[in-house]
């Protein structure tokens, strides 16, 4: 039964349009950040350190992900919204587990993102999401905006609508304990690199530990338990062999999860007879770059790198090419890893026997990562 002040509080929240959704409810085991039925408009002194705050969506599109974590924490922790998200005009109240400075991050339905860092949770009243970034309203009415530059306001938008930067995505895969390999063009000139493991953990990583411009390869340092290393084929690949790609093409448009495609090895060289690449017929889209190319035994035989620009070829030749895509040869990736001081895993000479595409996907899944570059 609702009584006294609690009844009044419930009415105030309903009048303010506060949505206390199930996505923000505690789960088992309970997360450190819990939704709390409280009114953040009530003045709370810093000495009391009430860690409640409200996140309100004043933007024109839904917020699909919301993260907040202590400023001293390396990763963002779990998404606080889950599948429900936060539509325009809605709000929800959270309570931080401990006092101190926190970092905040949102991802919008149109894939823009924004961050606000080192906000004192003891004095913050509201985090407001707008079409130009994040704002934190403190006790006393002071407003702090998200900082400019990488990781600040939304990538692709400023208060006047002038682009501030770009967000691109790609794929990588685990090749050794604490090591992920991808294409250099996926992580080059990034202000911030975020890597998401198959289990949903997302961490910010430093700039590539090693890179090779000629091969278009880069090595990233990740937590040691980010996934099992994939095995490379010890021998060469042949024309006509069936192959499987696994990665994150057109993330946010097609699917937020990984995609599997199949095809064959079409040629043993790339554009202009490039000997460091092979040509494949498996479909490739933006975001596939850096993903593993596997044979039907589940062994790496290349890394997806590029697709032929069909529009340009059609304009030049009057015909649209079909399924002409490219991958870095696995021998080139192996040489790069060895030059970096790693000992990549090699499969048995005879392989493991033919597998279905679905079985190959199950091998690739725990080792394939999503990469986000914020420029």
Spatial contact of 51 and 121, defined as CB atoms under 8 Å apart: yes
Give the pLDDT confidence of 215-229 residue by residue, as tens digits.
Answer: 999 999 999 999 999
Percentages (nearest 5) of helix, strand, coil residues in the chain:
15, 35, 50
Any idea what the Cα angle at residue 247 is, between residues 246 and 252, rounded to 5°? 140
Does the pTM surpass 0.85? The reply is: no
User: What's the pLDDT score for residue 164?
Assistant: 32
| Residue 266: pLDDT band with limits 50, 70, 90 | very high
| Whole-number Å distance between alpha carbons of 293 and 307 | 14
| Whole-number Å distance between alpha carbons of 115 and 150 | 9
User: What's the pLDDT score for residue 321?
Assistant: 53
Give the pLDDT confidence of 291-346 residue by residue, as tens digits.
Answer: 999 999 999 999 998 755 444 544 554 544 557 889 999 999 999 999 999 999 99
pLDDT exceeds cutoff 80 at 150: no
* Residue positions counted in the chain: 375
User: What's the pLDDT score for residue 280?
Assistant: 93
Tell me the pairing of strands 259-267 and 277-280: antiparallel
- The pair phi, psi for residue 232, each rounded to 5°, is -95, 150
Give the pLDDT confidence of 158-183 residue by residue, as tens digits.
Answer: 222 223 346 788 999 999 999 999 99
| Greatest mean pLDDT range, 4-18, 36-50, 267-281 | 267-281
| Residue 41: pLDDT band with limits 50, 70, 90 | very low
Hey, which residues does 99 pair with through a beta bridge? none
The per-residue DSSP string of 180-227 comes to EEE-HHHHTT-SEEEEE-TTS-EEEE-S-SEEETTTTEEEEE--TTS-
For residues 348, 352, 358, 364, the Cα torsion angle rounded to the nearest 10 degrees is -20
Spatial contact of 135 and 141, defined as CB atoms under 8 Å apart: no
Buried b (16+ CB within 10 A) or exposed e, 266-294: beeebeeeeebbbbbbbbbbebbbbbbbb
Say which residue, 194 or 27, is predicted with more confidence. Answer: 194
User: What's the pLDDT score for residue 249?
Assistant: 82
Delineate the domains of the chain, giving CATH numbers in brackets: 4-145 (2.60.40.2890), 168-221 (2.40.10.10), 242-366 (2.40.10.10)
- Let me know if 88 is exposed, middle or buried by CB neighbors in 10 A (0-12, 13-18, 19+): middle
pLDDT exceeds cutoff 70 at 153: no
| Residue 84: pLDDT band with limits 50, 70, 90 | confident
The mean per-residue pLDDT over the stretch 98-106 comes to 88
Spatial contact of 50 and 107, defined as CB atoms under 8 Å apart: no
Query: In Å, what is the CA distance from 331 to each residue of 105, 235, 327?
Result: 40, 9, 11
Spatial contact of 292 and 368, defined as CB atoms under 8 Å apart: yes
Hey, which residues does 63 pair with through a beta bridge? 86, 108
Query: In Å, what is the CA distance from 248 to each residue of 83, 88, 365?
Result: 19, 28, 11
Residue 314: which H helix or E strand, with range? helix 310-317
User: What's the pLDDT score for residue 166?
Assistant: 61
pLDDT exceeds cutoff 60 at 113: yes
Say which residue, 225 or 140, is predicted with more confidence. Answer: 225
pLDDT exceeds cutoff 50 at 363: yes
User: What's the pLDDT score for residue 22?
Assistant: 28
């Amino acid at each position: 039964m609702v009584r006294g002040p609690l009844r009044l509080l419930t009415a105030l929240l309903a009048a303010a349009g506060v949505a206390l959704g199930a996505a923000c409810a505690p789960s088992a085991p309970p997360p450190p950040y819990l939704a709390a039925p409280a009114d953040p408009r009530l003045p709370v002194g810093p000495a009391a350190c009430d860690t409640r705050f409200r996140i309100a969506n004043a933007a024109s599109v839904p917020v699909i992900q919301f993260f907040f974590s202590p400023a001293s924490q390396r990763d963002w922790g779990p998404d606080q919204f889950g599948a429900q998200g936060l539509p325009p005009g809605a709000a929800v109240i959270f309570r931080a587990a401990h006092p101190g400075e926190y970092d905040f991050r949102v991802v919008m339905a149109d894939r823009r993102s924004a961050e606000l860092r080192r906000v004192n949770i003891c004095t913050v009243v509201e985090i407001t999401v707008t079409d130009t970034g994040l704002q934190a309203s403190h006790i006393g009415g002071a407003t702090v905006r998200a900082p400019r530059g990488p990781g600040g306001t939304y990538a692709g938008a400023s208060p006047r609508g002038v682009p501030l930067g770009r967000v691109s995505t790609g794929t990588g895969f685990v090749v050794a304990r604490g090591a992920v390999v991808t294409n250099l063009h996926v992580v080059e000139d990034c202000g911030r690199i975020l890597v998401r493991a198959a289990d949903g953990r997302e961490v910010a990583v430093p700039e590539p530990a090693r890179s090779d411009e000629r091969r278009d390869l880069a090595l990233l340092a990740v937590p040691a338990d980010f996934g099992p290393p994939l095995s490379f084929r010890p021998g060469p690949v042949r024309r006509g062999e069936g192959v499987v790609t696994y990665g994150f093409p057109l993330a946010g448009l097609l699917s937020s999860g990984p995609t599997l495609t199949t095809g064959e090895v079409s040629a043993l060289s790339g554009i202009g007879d490039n000997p460091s690449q092979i040509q494949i017929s498996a479909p490739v889209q933006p975001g596939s770059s850096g993903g593993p190319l596997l044979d039907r035994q589940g062994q790496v035989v290349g890394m997806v790198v590029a697709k032929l620009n069909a529009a340009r070829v059609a304009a030049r030749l009057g015909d649209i090419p079909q399924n002409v895509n490219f991958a870095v040869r696995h021998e080139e990736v192996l040489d790069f890893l060895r030059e970096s001081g790693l000992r990549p895993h090699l499969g048995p000479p005879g392989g493991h026997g033919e597998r279905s595409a679905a079985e190959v996907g199950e091998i690739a899944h725990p080792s394939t990562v999503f990469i986000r570059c914020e420029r």
